[in-house]
């Protein structure tokens, strides 16, 4: 998709489809003044043209509501699409909803256009409508449109390429042009990096083996100028990654340990951010095999690793002034005569011993060694992402991912980043009492902690390997795959966490 930011009057710009966002400022069902609803004060004729629709009550500007106007009066565009962004937070204020609503509305516009074969999108940057700077709004629109452009039907032989050919964002000439352009370009990079992760997650397990994931990671790193090494069994043995190796044993597919480094030109501190991802390319559960029903979805058990690859791709292009390294642990979890078994005791790279209770709790095993290795490579702060537990979905449903943090300052930076990414992560506790549940009689730890607080005991397990290094753990099992399409995004891989991780990294730059 070609992307461009122009500073020009929306009404005077020729376009196949011009998108205008409108906000519902009606109080007690009475529509507000047209200027308040549509403050893109270009000319009276524009107001007259759209005003009638807005005052008619037929189009109420509720969130993601759409209305298409052909050959609109006083516009150079062939079509105008009105997209509601919902109610202003406070009816008395002139500001409207925030970046989350705007991202969805932008995505709604893009998917509306795509589904009708309209592939060139022109969008008017809303001004006083949203609680965001022009730069944030520009960034958000780019993110929303690019995420909406993704479709998961890659293997359908009747697939029609409906992807957008261009996105043109129109800003008023009066606004901060360099700032808005920087925001827009950032949004493009973030949207494309999120889609990079989604394309990986979407791949079936027979196509995307750990080896292939390593190749794709390497190709991406070469493209954006990151150094990248991909290791396999021999290196895991050399590093004594006994936990990771245990998981790999059952599969004929060799594992991949992917290590990427981002080195800024002028690092401003000694901070090294370590990004660690779980990338199980298919999780059968191993000897503790999963039920057949729904097992096909376990191809997305590499979504944490994909998120880290998407994040470091964006970082390479955005060039923040902070060192970043990524460690992605990829394997296939299979049952076989060589597979690890319940009761086995594994010795992790850190020297800690682990009694395997359930071979389906494999993610924490590969991450145990990944976290330790990231520290050894010099990480001063750690963040991991993983589709780690079904329990996190039981606890939080599909509207919040789980987050854990061992350090308040590190968490505060992550939380600040969420304001921009708009993603929802809910912090869960790490009190020491939970540690009791993963005590083993034969080894230092067990790899499961029973039915209660399953997401927490999994996090407590990881904490043993993060040690004293400030650390954040993201359990994205409930959000990494969307079972239903929404108006603004397809079903399938969501790419959750990519943008929040980048936003966290940017806090250190
Ligand atoms: N990959 C799964 C977690 C998962 C579940 C991801 C549902 C996405 C959707 C993980 O490896 C797993 O199997 N966890 C077990 C842990 C249990 C054995 C302690 C689980 O959640 O059941
Ligand atoms: Mn599992
Ligand atoms: Zn898993």
Torsion angles phi and psi, residue 374, rounded to 5: -60, -40
Residue tagged active-site, from 235, 290, 341, 424? 290
CA-only gyration radius of the chain, Å = 24
Q: Which residues contact 117 (CB under 8 A, 6 or more apart)?
A: 162
Q: Is residue 182 part of a domain?
A: no
User: Which residue, chain included where needed, has tokens 């403050």?
Assistant: 39
User: Which residue, chain included where needed, has tokens 């204020």?
Assistant: 93
Residue from 289, 355, 388, 452 whose mutation best tests the ligand 1 pocket (most atoms within 8 A of CB)? 388
Torsion angles phi and psi, residue 121, rounded to 5: -110, 130
Q: Are residues 306 and 413 in the same domain?
A: yes
Mean pLDDT of 170-180: 90
Catalytic: 419? no
pLDDT tens sequence across 57-116: 889 889 999 999 999 888 999 999 999 988 865 555 555 678 999 999 999 999 999 999
Catalytic: 290? yes
Residue tagged active-site, from 364, 375, 413, 499? 364
Q: Are residues 250 and 371 in the same domain?
A: yes
Range of lowest pLDDT (72-76, 162-166, 270-274, 462-466): 72-76
Residue 114 C-alpha from the chain's centroid = 22
In the three-class reduction of DSSP (H, G, I as helix; E, B as strand; rest coil), residue 229 is classed as strand
Strand partners, 378: none
Q: Which residues contact 396 (CB under 8 A, 6 or more apart)?
A: 402, 426, 478
Using an 8 Å Cβ cutoff, are 371 and 298 in contact? no
CA distance 205 to 440: 33
Q: Are residues 145 and 227 in the same domain?
A: no
Residue 156 structural domain? 2-172
What pLDDT shows up at residue 37?
Answer: 41
Q: Is residue 187 part of a domain?
A: no
CA distance 473 to 386: 8
Q: Is residue 261 part of a domain?
A: yes
DSSP H helix total and E strand total for the chain: 14, 19
Q: Are residues 100 and 69 in the same domain?
A: yes
Residue 170 C-alpha from the chain's centroid = 26
What does the block give as tokens for 341? 């078994």
Range of lowest pLDDT (40-49, 147-156, 260-269, 332-341): 40-49
Mean pLDDT of 227-244: 98
- Is 390 close to ligand 1, i.e. is its CB under 6 Å away? yes
Q: Is residue 180 part of a domain?
A: no
Higher pLDDT, 356 or 175: 356
% of residues, the chain, pLDDT over 90: 84
Q: Are residues 200 and 138 in the same domain?
A: no
Strands 227-231 and 256-262 come out as antiparallel
- Is 342 close to ligand 1, i.e. is its CB under 6 Å away? no
What pLDDT shows up at residue 11?
Answer: 87
Q: Is residue 186 part of a domain?
A: no
Strand partners, 274: 325, 382
State the Cα torsion 9-14-19-24 to the nearest 10°. Answer: 50
Give, in degrees to the nearest 5, the angle at Cα 312 between 122 and 372: 155
pLDDT tens sequence across 18-64: 999 988 766 655 655 454 444 445 556 666 778 788 888 889 889 99
Q: Are residues 465 and 413 in the same domain?
A: yes
Higher pLDDT, 201 or 87: 201
Q: Which residues contact 370 (CB under 8 A, 6 or more apart)?
A: 244, 257, 276, 277, 278, 327, 328, 329, 384
Higher pLDDT, 156 or 32: 156
CATH number of the domain encompassing residue 416: 3.40.630.10
Could you say which of 141, 172, 203 is where a domain stops? 172
Could you say which of 172, 207, 224 is where a domain stops? 172
Could you say which of 172, 207, 236 is where a domain stops? 172
Mean pLDDT of 200-227: 98
Q: Are residues 45 and 135 in the same domain?
A: yes
Of 1, 332, 304, 309, the C-alpha closest to 148 is 1
Q: Are residues 103 and 207 in the same domain?
A: no
Q: Are residues 85 and 151 in the same domain?
A: yes
What pLDDT shows up at residue 39?
Answer: 45
Domains: count for the chain:
2
Q: Are residues 232 and 339 in the same domain?
A: yes
Q: Is residue 185 part of a domain?
A: no
Q: How far is the CA of 285 from the centre of ligand 2 (A)?
A: 5
CA distance 380 to 273: 6
Provide the 8-state DSSP code for 130. S
Q: Is residue 344 part of a domain?
A: yes
Q: Is residue 184 part of a domain?
A: no
CATH number of the domain encompassing residue 71: 3.40.220.10
Q: How far is the CA of 480 from the centre of ligand 3 (A)?
A: 12
Mean pLDDT of 359-380: 99
What pLDDT shows up at residue 92?
Answer: 55
Of 50, 30, 32, 31, the C-alpha closest to 40 is 50
Taking CA atoms, 196 is separated from 218, 244, 255, 403, in Å, by 13, 26, 21, 23
User: Which residue, chain included where needed, has tokens 């190749």?
Assistant: 215
- Per-state percent for the chain, helix, strand, coil, to nearest 5: 35, 20, 40
Q: How far is the CA of 37 from the centre of ligand 2 (A)?
A: 50
Q: Which residues contact 497 (CB under 8 A, 6 or more apart)?
A: 304, 307, 311, 385, 401, 423, 474, 476, 480
If you average pLDDT over every residue of the chain, what do you get?
94
Q: Are residues 252 and 284 in the same domain?
A: yes
Buried b (16+ CB within 10 A) or exposed e, 406-422: bbeebbebbbebbebbb
Q: Are residues 427 and 464 in the same domain?
A: yes
- Is 487 close to ligand 1, i.e. is its CB under 6 Å away? no
């Amino acid at each position: 998709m070609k992307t461009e930011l122009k500073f020009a009057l929306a009404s005077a710009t020729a376009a196949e489809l011009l998108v205008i966002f409108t906000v519902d400022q009606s109080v007690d069902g009475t529509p507000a003044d047209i200027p308040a609803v549509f403050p893109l004060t270009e000319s009276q004729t524009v107001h007259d043209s759209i005003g009638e629709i807005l005052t008619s009550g037929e189009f109420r500007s509720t969130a993601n509501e759409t209305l298409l106007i052909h050959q609109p009066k006083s516009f150079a565009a062939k079509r105008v699409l009105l997209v509601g962004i919902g109610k202003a937070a406070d009816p008395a204020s002139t500001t409207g909803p925030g970046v989350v609503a705007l991202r969805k509305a932008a995505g709604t516009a893009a998917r509306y256009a795509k589904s009708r074969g309209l592939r060139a999108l022109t969008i008017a940057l809303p001004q006083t409508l949203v609680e965001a700077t022009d730069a944030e709004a520009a960034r958000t629109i780019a993110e929303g449109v690019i995420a909406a452009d993704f479709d998961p039907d890659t293997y359908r032989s009747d697939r029609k390429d409906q992807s957008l050919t261009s996105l043109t964002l129109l800003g008023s000439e009066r606004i901060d042009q360099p700032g808005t352009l920087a925001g827009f370009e950032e949004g493009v990079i973030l949207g494309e990096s999120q889609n990079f992760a989604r394309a990986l997650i979407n791949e079936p397990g027979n196509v995307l083996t750990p080896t292939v994931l390593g190749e794709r990671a390497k190709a991406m790193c070469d493209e954006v100028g990151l150094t990248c090494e991909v290791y396999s069994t021999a290196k895991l043995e050399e590093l004594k990654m006994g936990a990771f190796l245990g998981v790999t044993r059952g599969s004929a597919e060799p594992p991949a340990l992917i290590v990427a480094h981002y080195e800024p030109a002028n690092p401003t501190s000694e901070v090294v951010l370590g990004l660690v991802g779980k990338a199980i390319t298919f999780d059968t559960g191993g000897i503790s095999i999963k039920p057949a029903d729904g097992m096909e979805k376990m191809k997305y058990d590499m979504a944490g690793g994909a998120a880290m690859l998407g994040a470091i791709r964006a970082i390479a292009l955005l060039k923040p002034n902070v060192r970043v390294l990524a460690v992605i642990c990829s394997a296939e979890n299979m049952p076989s005569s060589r597979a690890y078994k319940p009761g086995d005791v594994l010795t992790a790279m850190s020297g800690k011993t682990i009694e395997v209770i359930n071979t389906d709790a494999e993610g924490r095993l590969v991450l145990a060694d990944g976290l330790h290795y990231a520290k050894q490579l010099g990480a001063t702060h750690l963040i991991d992402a993983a589709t780690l537990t079904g329990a996190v979905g039981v606890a939080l449903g599909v509207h919040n991912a789980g987050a854990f943090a061992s350090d308040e300052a590190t968490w505060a930076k992550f939380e600040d980043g969420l304001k921009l990414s708009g993603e929802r992560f809910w912090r869960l506790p790490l009190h020491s009492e939970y540690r009791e549940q993963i005590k083993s009689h034969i080894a230092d730890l067990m790899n499961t902690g029973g039915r209660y607080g399953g997401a927490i005991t999994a996090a407590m397990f990881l904490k043993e390997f993060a040690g004293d290094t400030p650390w954040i753990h993201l359990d994205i099992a409930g959000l990494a795959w969307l079972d239903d399409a929404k108006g603004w995004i397809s079903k399938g891989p969501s790419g959750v966490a990519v943008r929040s991780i980048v936003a966290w990294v940017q806090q250190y730059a």
